[in-house]
Amino acid sequence: MTAPAPAPSRPAADAPPLALYVHWPFCAKKCPYCDFNSHVREAVDQAAWRAALLADLAHEAALTPGHRLTSIFFGGGTPSLMPPETVAAVIDAAARHWACAEDLEVTLEANPQSAEAAGFRALASAGVNRLSLGLQRFDDASLAFLGRLHSAAEGLRALEAAQAAVERVSFDLITALPGDTPERFDKVLDRAIGLGTEHVSLYQLTIEPGTRFETMVRKGAFTPIDEDLGAELFELTSARMSAAGLPPYEISNHARPGAESRHNLAYWRYRDYAGIGPGAHGRRGGLRTFRHRKPENFLAAVARNGHGLREEAPLAPRQAAREALVMGLRLAEGIDPAAMAARFGVPAIDEDAARRLVDQGLLMWDERLRLSPAGRLLNDAILAEIAL
């Protein structure tokens, strides 16, 4: 297996950029906090899934000619369970369908189990140049609570293997677990900072509908931490990570300057992206797309239609402007309200409401509108105030 060859022709400098998301829906185990489109199956027909993903990719590529591919992201589920041959086939096909940016970013989400970590070099040979590792925490008790299959020691070995396989590595941590205190979590941040990666994503534990954790909370098995403590942990995280040279470029994502996830920036900047695989969302040319969610339904749709699309619908200008506001305000760079209004043909914000929040110290507004440090704690409430 080799990295993808360059596209036959270089993209024009003004070619519209495009990101590609590939969803692998299978996991070895469903985590109790997870509400993503993930499924446990006793057996997976790898040849059938490779063919289905390639067919779905070809269909989407035919609808986005002339674009410049800037990133590929394999998400899930657990994409590190994909055979490297399948990963290579998808990357190679994408490089044939679109002209690729010279610095094409190819990210794959991975779990730390030993069997998966052993395949990191093969994934790198397949064309993956960035790994995102689901460490979640550094102690066995927290990992057991979260339903993770790996131990703390196994997670650290997997991180070393990832750093040896590719130049760019990120890892996820889950914050605000029951029993967390500022003192306890400060030690978690010490460990995270000391591991030397360029990018860390820190997500507060949320109890999502339909998850096993929701059932446990309803039955009194545990109590989530209160909002005030969650806010204190959030502020601690921002301060510690910033001091270590990993400032937040998005509410939950920290990176060294230049090491931001280019793929996720495409989402937050509301650029077009193609989404293939079960349950994958996409956005192209003013349309939103959604694939069949259940793996078996997705395969049946590809066999029937040559693609896994379940729905394709136009985005009204007002809806698109609101979505762009919701995504863009999460970024430290914020949004340009004037450029957004010109792009969608409608104003994106209530300017009077925004100026009131500037006066209250929750927003900052020069040419761009941004959340202040205090405003980051109240993002949802601020959006409710300023969105039209």
CB 148 within 8 A of CB 29: no
Question: Residue 124: enclosing H or E segment and its boundaries?
Answer: helix 120-126
Quick one: CATH architecture of 317-386? Orthogonal Bundle (1.10)
Whether the per-residue pLDDT at 274 is higher than 80: the answer is yes
**pLDDT at position 11:** 52
Split at pLDDT 50, 70, 90, the class of 388 is confident
On average, the pLDDT of the chain sits at 94
- Tell me the mean pLDDT in the region 42-47: 94
Residue ranges of the chain assigned to CATH 1.10.10.10:
317-386
Whether the per-residue pLDDT at 129 is higher than 70: the answer is yes
Split at pLDDT 50, 70, 90, the class of 115 is confident
Q: What share of the chain is helix, strand, coil (3-state, %, to 5)?
A: 40, 20, 35
Under CATH, which number does the domain 17-268 receive?
Answer: 3.20.20.70
79: CB partners within 8 A, 6+ apart: 22, 24, 87, 108, 109, 110
Residue ranges of the chain assigned to CATH 3.20.20.70:
17-268
Q: Is 342 helix (H, G, I), strand (E, B) or coil?
A: helix
**pLDDT at position 54:** 98
